[in-house]
């Protein structure tokens, strides 16, 4: 049965293929294939959105990667584009996003980036899938001395915010502007409000209290009605809404029109 779809591996949690067992073997397979291509111990970064199942998948991937001798850098809840950026910025060998994007909380997924910040090639995805399905893999495992380690990167969100600000003209200033933000109780619930606040805007945020199950729930980019309402009520100059992993953005003007 095919595991990888058009956007990585995705499905309902604890149902094939989104089971801890498959995630464990996906981590093992990715690390194994990287070791064959690299002269050094593989370094793999993992980010996620705010789904409660992210803990399950992150732990399974970490176990798989470290058991095969790779190091893991966990950055916690962070937008998908931030993982693509951090893979290049931190010079790691691959990045994994744990998210099902705009889907309900009961779904989750794995999207893998290569060291250039782009999605894996179909060839490498096929190689990973073959190993996941190979009952004899892995025939040989690393010794205890060769196991990998897992690290928590505490400043990942700050690094991404600084990168975004660096793309703007140096004298950029949003003072005097009121911005309404709906991060869909998802991956950007801290980053986007902080970004606009640091740029000088007055920030009004809704749906920024993720509890593991309220991601995308009648909010965010797929349900902009709440944002439109708050823009009008507060007379904000514009509004910003994301989906769960913040790779999709809807903008609303001061009249509540979707741009």
* Cβ atoms of residues 6 and 125 within 8 Å: no
Taking the C-alpha atoms of residue 203 and residue 24, their distance in angstroms, rounded to an integer, is 40
Give dist(CA 58, CA 47) in Å, integer. 8
Cβ partners under 8 Å of residue 135, min gap 6: none
Cα–Cα distance, 250 to 252 (Å, whole number): 7
Q: What is the C-alpha radius of gyration for the chain, rounded to an integer number of angstroms?
A: 19
101 as an active site residue: the answer is: yes
Conformation bin of residue 220: beta by default, left when phi > 0, alpha when psi is -120 to 50: left
Of the residues 53, 99, 101, 226, only one is catalytic, namely 101
Cα 17 to Cα 9: distance, rounded to the nearest angstrom: 7
**Mind telling me the catalytic residues?**
101
């Amino acid at each position: 049965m095919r595991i990888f779809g058009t956007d990585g591996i995705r499905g309902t949690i604890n149902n094939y293929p989104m089971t801890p067992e498959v995630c464990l073997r996906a981590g093992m397979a990715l690390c194994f294939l990287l070791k064959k291509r690299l002269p050094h111990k593989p370094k793999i970064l993992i980010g996620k959105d705010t789904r409660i199942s992210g803990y399950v998948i992150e732990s399974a991937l970490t176990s798989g990667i470290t058991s095969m001798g790779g190091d893991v850098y966990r950055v916690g809840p962070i937008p998908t584009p931030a993982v693509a950026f951090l893979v290049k910025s931190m010079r790691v060998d691959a990045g994994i996003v744990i998210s099902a994007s705009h889907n309900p909380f009961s779904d989750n997924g794995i999207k893998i980036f290569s060291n250039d910040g782009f999605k894996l090639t179909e060839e490498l995805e096929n190689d990973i899938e073959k190993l996941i399905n190979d009952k004899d893999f892995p025939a040989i495992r690393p010794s205890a001395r060769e196991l990998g380690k897992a690290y928590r990167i505490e400043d990942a969100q700050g690094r991404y915010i600084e990168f975004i600000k660096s793309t703007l003209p140096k004298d950029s200033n949003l003072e005097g502007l009121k911005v309404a933000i709906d991060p869909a109780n998802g991956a950007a619930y801290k980053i986007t409000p902080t970004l606009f606040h640091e740029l000088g805007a007055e920030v009004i945020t809704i749906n920024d209290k993720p509890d593991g199950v309220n991601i995308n729930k009648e909010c965010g980019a797929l349900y902009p009605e709440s944002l439109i309402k708050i823009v009008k009520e507060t007379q904000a100059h514009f509004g910003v809404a994301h989906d769960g992993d913040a790779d999709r953005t809807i903008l609303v003007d001061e009249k509540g029109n979707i741009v």
